[in-house]
Structure 1
Amino acid sequence: MTVPALVCFAALALAGCSDDDSDSSAADPESGTSEEAAPEPESEPEAAEEESPAAAPKEVEVTPPGTKLKIGEQAVVPYDRAGATGHIGITVTGVSDVDKAAFDAALGENGDADITPFCVEYTIENADGSDLGGSYPPDLVGTTADGGETGATVFGADVEGCAEGVAPDEFAEAGASYETKRLQGAGPGAAVAGASYEEDDYEDKPIVWTP
């Protein structure tokens, strides 16, 4: 009776091993059966790159009305034209002669034989980083060497070599600059040697550049 009992125990043990192997093979990825894989989480769409906000205009020190400067020195003034506002730097860089015949032709009926033409040359700089793209420069007025009146003022005329410039479209960063010119004239016995800025708050006390 001992032998059959041992055989029975062994059979049961073998059956138990068989059940364990069956369970482990179902979980084994290399077995014939496979568990259904869980779906991978959908990746979140990449957030759209946000444009960095434009930098706020920086504070600048404005040149007081009535300031006297030398040619080559800069004045900083408020700018407000056609919806463009900010601050600009103005530097008169020189005054040059203009061909009289070309000047008379440009003025036509408004020409005057007694007026001697000159070209005021200056640079405009974006002082505070405001968007001033496409803006027009201020109109400077010619002065004598001591800052006085020249006896003649020219408006709205250009000649070859002395034409008004316009700010480029990307004129929106502090330090950006462009060159421009202004046709002016002097009466008999006078000459244009400097310039003045007489707009807005500077009408009664202009900023004046002299040699």
Structure 2
Amino acid sequence: MNRTRMTVLALASAAALALTGCSDDDSDSSSADLESESSQEAAPDPAAAEEESPAAAPKEVEVTPPGTRLKIGEQAVVPYDRAGATGHIGITVTGVSDVDKAAFDAALGENGDADITPFCVEFTVENADGSDLGGSYPPDLIGTTADGGDPGATVFGADVEGCAEGQAPDEFAEAGASYETKRLQGAGPGASVAGASYEEDDYEDAPIVWTP
């Protein structure tokens, strides 16, 4: 009798231990699952962090003083404020080339003048401070003689094949980004265009002038 009771108790104790072991394993597994879910929820989203990061502020630049005279190939840095786009740009006049007179007269139509000889001012525009100037228009450069004087004619708002005004690309928003553009200009009888001047805003009374 006693021997039978002891056997039953031993079996019951073993079953209890087995149940206890299963309970501990389930508890450990549940804790691990909760820790894993918590880690996944807490992990930062790189894309969201990038979206929330503020845009870099434009860097400070030194502007070229009014009245500065430069050689073709040298850069001037000036403020830019047109059509809601503001910042600073670098302007480098890279050369002046001849333009076909017949094409020029055709482009001007009734506004043409037989006494005007056409020239093309070629220059590069650079984003100087990192402001977003995407899609902005280039500055209006005016042709000058070789010594920086008035060539006797000024042309506005005309393009011919080979001398058309370009526009900043949409991604023109980083310091150092640049694009090439051109400006059609003219000279009166006995004169020619060999340089250019920048006369906008603060430079109206004392332009920046590029000469050979």
Q: With the length of structure 2 as denominator, give the TM-score of the two structures.
A: 0.78
Q: CA deviation at 1:2?
A: 24
Deviation digits for residues 168-199 of structure 1, max 9, x if unmatched? 00000000000000000000000000000000
Give the length in aligned residue pairs: 206
Structure 1 distance, partners of 2:67, 2:39, is 91
Q: Indicate the residue corresponding to 2:17 in structure 1.
A: 12
- Mark the CA change 1:12 to 1:165 in structure 2 (over 3 Å): closer, same or farther: closer
- Mark the CA change 1:13 to 1:101 in structure 2 (over 3 Å): closer, same or farther: closer
Q: CA deviation at 1:69?
A: 0.1
Contact 1:67 1:207 in 2 (8 A): yes
- Mark the CA change 1:55 to 1:144 in structure 2 (over 3 Å): closer, same or farther: same
- Mark the CA change 1:120 to 1:18 in structure 2 (over 3 Å): closer, same or farther: closer
SS in structure 2 of the partner of residue 183 of structure 1: strand
| Structure with a larger share of its residues in helix | 2
Contact 1:26 1:34 in 2 (8 A): no
- Mark the CA change 1:192 to 1:131 in structure 2 (over 3 Å): closer, same or farther: same
Q: CA deviation at 1:65?
A: 0.1
Contact 1:133 1:172 in 2 (8 A): yes
Structure 2 unmatched ranges of 5 or more: 1-5
Look at both structures and tell me which one has the larger radius of gyration over its CA atoms. 1
Q: With the length of structure 1 as denominator, give the TM-score of the two structures.
A: 0.78
Structure 1 distance, partners of 2:145, 2:152, is 9
- Mark the CA change 1:54 to 1:115 in structure 2 (over 3 Å): closer, same or farther: same
Contact 1:77 1:87 in 2 (8 A): yes
Q: CA deviation at 1:36?
A: 25
Q: CA deviation at 1:130?
A: 0.1
Contact 1:58 1:128 in 2 (8 A): yes
- Mark the CA change 1:121 to 1:37 in structure 2 (over 3 Å): closer, same or farther: closer
Q: CA deviation at 1:85?
A: 0.1
Q: CA deviation at 1:53?
A: 1.6
Structure 1 unmatched ranges of 5 or more: 42-46
Contact 1:171 1:177 in 2 (8 A): yes
Structure 1 distance, partners of 2:78, 2:205, is 15
- Mark the CA change 1:53 to 1:113 in structure 2 (over 3 Å): closer, same or farther: same
